[in-house]
């Protein structure tokens, strides 16, 4: 499961030796994220975001567990209990702002992690399973974040819950019963709030479990790298510790600087003012919008405005919104180019930078805008490109593109051509 | 299989979207959406600065006390402040005795219920009480103001603009939108989302409040002061938050520089 040259764990003293015989946890950590895990030497800063995402999960669990000690999941008092945390709980305002902005930070780093995967085709063999587990984590994150946003029981919490659970009502025949079953009533109320709180507490630990599988699957082929060329010799790798622990430490510092600047100086900038109005089932907000990290998918949902033959517009929107993420599951088989890295794929690169990235930006903007023209028509065109990019353009590009020449090895990519490295090249024991 | 069905699924979504796009474009050309009075005459809040703005901004306690006086003498007749307790007023610079006196003399009382006799009654407020609920018998439901500046975009400036924004409905508006005449019992204010609200101008003219610190009580002054006070009620921990923020950023900056140097040192032999 690792390279032959991976360092072996050696217990330093009697205690660790005893521990290594009974429960080799230090050995496990050493091999997972310590000196025992050889990693390509050429990873750039886009490879920082996996560790940062893990940090965000821990941050969310710690702040969330503390908030749960003071929060009351009851439709009558939930809003007031959040204000109690903000005003009367020692450092409660910091815990809540850290948690609310922590969700945003989590999505920022996960989006960068995912788009790193898109550009460097990290999903390709032999790493398909890592990718599938990653998309699963993202779906779980979306569910967790959505339910967390309902908990303060403000106007956007309530109406967001109503809109999103209403999506299930679009399913033919069984839609309405499913919606009522999910909510525990005909509209979001105490039953819904209670189960959302319960699941919001549970799902992060499910995510933690899937992350363990994600990292386990990662350790079988080892990390990918910006050239997309597989590791050939020991000179292609460095031990994770201290090289990448140091690099990730610096990345974590930069991340925390930005995160804390928002947390302490603009903590409500990413939220919606309406969520400081208590939930009122009789008063619909002028514009119901989800949190910013769902904007692109919300734009796709709202892009379907006319029934398509016998399929109602709403159902089409729901299918497309879920489809827009489910399509990521199939990427390893849609993109058939043997070359991984976008650096060596001229045509793919153009579609990535001038197609996918602007499309995501446009969908993001339209998702936050009111459901009116011209935003709806713009998001329709952007959604067309979105689906075409993954389902039509990627397979086509893979078959017609002529990739640029790849370096012989990672070391060559970093240090230039080195004859001795070529001579010493041996197959890996991956 | 994926390569066969993938493009088909892509085409399916693309065609359905084109269908929506075509229909939408046709409707947009045939029946363009009519402009509404709200769209044409609504104004964004004025550019009003507060002492608490910005990364270095701090509350001006004298202003908060003036704002509290405006709230007490004007707003509190109809609007409650249920998330704020009398004891919180100590943060505005009032002494413990002053806070107790403010609570005791507060007009609206705390409701009581004697579980033995079943009698309902009232008692004076004490410092640990939250501001009592205000029951309003008139038209409309006056919102609780505790969080109002966080519940509106650009909240402080919005409240101040709204308070000073009352005016006659412009003739131009009625000419363009004859149906948009302000209904009886409502008042025209371009800073309100739908232009007409049921609250009459609460600050009617200069000198409505007599400030104890000698500040001249113009309409603008009172509006800005009470908005500053409502920024405080919505975010009482603002000063502490920013203070903590600078300490945290300072620490992180040093830690990040050290982390960078450590990283550079460790990688020195690899590049």
Domain boundaries, chain B: 37-84+130-236
Q: Does residue B190 sit in helix, strand or coil? A: coil
Q: How far apart are CA A247 and CA B147, in angstroms?
A: 43
> Per-residue pLDDT tens for A366-411?
999 988 888 999 999 999 999 999 999 999 999 999 999 999 988 8
Q: Are residues A12 and A112 in the same domain?
A: no
Residues A232, A247, A343, A389: which is the catalytic one? A247
Q: Are residues A73 and A139 in the same domain?
A: yes
Q: Are residues A234 and A209 in the same domain?
A: yes
**Which whole-number Å values give the CA distances from A392 to A69, A350, A363, B37, B121, in the listed order?**
50, 15, 19, 45, 74
| Domain assignment present for A269 | yes
Q: Are residues A142 and A11 in the same domain?
A: no
Low-confidence residues of chain B, pLDDT below 70?
271
> Per-residue pLDDT tens for B28-46?
899 888 888 888 999 999 9
Q: Are residues A23 and A54 in the same domain?
A: no
Q: Are residues A366 and A401 in the same domain?
A: yes
Q: Are residues A52 and A11 in the same domain?
A: no
| Domain assignment present for A430 | no
Q: Are residues A176 and A214 in the same domain?
A: yes
**Which whole-number Å values give the CA distances from A172 to A175, A322, B16, B136, in the listed order?**
6, 16, 18, 47
Closest CA relative to residue A358, chosen from A381, A337, A375: A381
Does the active-site annotation cover A248?
yes
**Which whole-number Å values give the CA distances from A383 to A107, A313, A359, in the listed order?**
21, 15, 8
| Domain boundaries, position A10 | 1-28
Does the active-site annotation cover A350?
no
| Domain assignment present for A219 | yes
Q: Residue B24 and residue A390: Cβ atoms within 8 Å?
A: no
Give the one of B14, B256, B262 whose C-beta lies nearest to A257's C-beta: B256
**A256 touching B, CB under 8 A?**
yes
| Domain assignment present for A47 | yes
The number of domains in chain A is 2
Q: How far apart are CA A168 and CA A176, in angstroms?
A: 7
| Domain assignment present for A374 | yes
Identify the closest residue of chain B to A385 by CA–CA distance.
Answer: B14
Cα distance from B271 to chain A (closest Cα, Å)? 7
Q: What is the ipTM for the molecules in this complex?
A: 0.94
Q: Are residues A149 and A278 in the same domain?
A: yes
Q: Are residues A100 and A248 in the same domain?
A: yes
State yes or no: pLDDT of A31 exceeds 70: yes
| Domain assignment present for A428 | no
State yes or no: pLDDT of A25 exceeds 60: yes
Query: What is the dotted CATH code of the domain comprising B37-84+130-236?
Result: 1.10.760.10
Least confident piece of the model among A78-82, A341-345, B39-43: B39-43
For an interface test with A, which of B17, B152, B263, B269 has the most A Cβ atoms less than 10 Å from its Cβ?
B17
Give the one of A253, A333, A392 whose C-beta lies nearest to B2's C-beta: A333
Q: Are residues A276 and A371 in the same domain?
A: yes
Side-chain-side CA neighbours of residue B121 (13 Å): 7
Q: Residue A264 and residue B248: Cβ atoms within 8 Å?
A: yes
Q: Are residues A19 and A42 in the same domain?
A: no
> Per-residue pLDDT tens for B104-161?
999 999 999 999 999 999 999 999 999 999 988 877 789 999 999 999 999 999 999 9
Assign residue A73 the CATH number of its domain: 1.20.810.10
Q: Give chain A positions within 8 Å (CB) of B248.
A: 260, 264
């Amino acid at each position: 499961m690792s390279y032959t040259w991976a360092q072996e764990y050696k217990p330093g003293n009697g205690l660790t030796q005893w521990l290594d015989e009974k429960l080799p946890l230090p050995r496990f950590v050493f091999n997972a994220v310590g000196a025992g895990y050889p990693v390509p030497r050429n990873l750039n800063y886009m490879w920082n975001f996996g560790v940062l995402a893990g940090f965000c999960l821990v941050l969310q669990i710690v702040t969330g567990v503390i908030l749960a000690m003071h929060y009351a999941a009851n439709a009558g008092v939930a809003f007031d209990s959040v204000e109690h945390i903000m005003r009367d709980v020692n450092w409660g305002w910091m815990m809540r702002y850290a948690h609310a902005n922590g969700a945003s930070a989590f999505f920022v780093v996960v989006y960068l992690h995912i788009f790193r995967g898109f550009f460097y085709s990290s999903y390709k063999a032999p790493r398909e399973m890592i990718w599938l587990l990653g998309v699963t984590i993202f779906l779980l994150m979306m569910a967790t974040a959505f339910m967390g946003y309902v908990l303060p029981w403000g106007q956007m919490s309530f109406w967001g819950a109503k809109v999103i659970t209403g999506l299930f009502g679009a399913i033919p025949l069984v839609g309405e019963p499913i919606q009522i079953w999910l909510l525990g009533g005909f509209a979001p109320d105490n039953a819904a709030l209670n189960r959302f709180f319960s699941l919001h507490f549970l799902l992060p630990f499910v995510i933690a479990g899937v992350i363990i599988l994600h990292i386990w699957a990662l350790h079988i082929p080892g990390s990918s790298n910006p050239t997309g060329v597989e590791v050939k010799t020991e000179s292609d790798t460095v031990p994770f510790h201290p090289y990448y622990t140091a690099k990730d430490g610096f990345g974590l510092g930069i991340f925390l600087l930005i995160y804390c600047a928002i947390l302490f100086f603009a903590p409500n900038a990413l939220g919606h003012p309406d969520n400081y109005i208590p939930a009122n089932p009789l008063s619909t907000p002028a514009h119901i919008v989800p949190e910013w990290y769902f904007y692109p998918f919300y734009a796709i949902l709202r892009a379907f405005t006319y029934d398509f033959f016998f399929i109602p517009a709403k159902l089409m929107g729901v299918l497309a919104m879920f489809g827009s993420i489910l399509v990521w599951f199939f990427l390893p088989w849609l993109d058939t180019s043997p070359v991984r890295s976008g650096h060596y794929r001229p045509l793919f690169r153009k579609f990535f930078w001038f197609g996918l990235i602007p499309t995501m930006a446009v969908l993001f903007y339209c998702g936050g805008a009111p459901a009116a023209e011209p935003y709806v028509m713009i998001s329709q065109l952007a959604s067309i490109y979105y689906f075409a990019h993954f389902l039509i353009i990627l397979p086509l590009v893979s078959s017609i593109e002529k990739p640029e020449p790849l370096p012989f090895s990672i070391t060559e990519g970093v240090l230039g051509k080195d004859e001795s490295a070529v001579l010493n090249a041996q197959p890996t024991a991956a | 299989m994926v390569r066969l069905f993938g493009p088909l699924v892509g085409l399916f979504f693309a065609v359905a979207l084109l269908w929506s796009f075509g229909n939408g474009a046709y409707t947009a050309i045939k029946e363009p959406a009519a402009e509404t009075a709200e769209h044409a005459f609504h104004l964004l809040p004025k550019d009003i600065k507060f002492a608490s703005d910005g990364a270095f901004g701090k509350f001006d306690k004298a202003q908060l006390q003036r704002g509290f006086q405006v709230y007490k003498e004007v707003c509190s007749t109809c609007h409650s402040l249920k998330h704020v307790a009398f004891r919180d007023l100590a943060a505005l610079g009032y002494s413990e005795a002053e806070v107790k006196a403010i609570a005791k003399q507060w007009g609206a009382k705390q409701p009581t219920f004697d579980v033995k006799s079943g009698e309902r009654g009232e008692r004076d407020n004490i410092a640990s009480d939250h501001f009592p609920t205000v029951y309003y018998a008139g038209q409309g439901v006056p919102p609780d103001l505790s969080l109002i500046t966080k519940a509106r975009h650009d909240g402080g400036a919005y409240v101040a603009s709204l308070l000073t924004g009352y005016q006659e409905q412009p003739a131009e508006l009625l000419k363009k939108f004859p149906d948009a005449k302000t209904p009886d019992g409502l008042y025209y204010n371009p800073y309100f989302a739908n232009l007409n609200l049921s609250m009459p101008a609460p600050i009617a003219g200069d000198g409505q409040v007599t400030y104890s610190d000698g500040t001249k009580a113009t309409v603008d002054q009172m509006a800005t002061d009470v908005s500053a006070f409502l920024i405080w009620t919505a975010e009482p921990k603002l000063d502490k938050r920013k203070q903590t923020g600078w300490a945290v950023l300072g620490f992180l900056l040093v830690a990040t520089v050290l982390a960078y140097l450590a990283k550079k040192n460790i990688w020195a032999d690899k590049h």
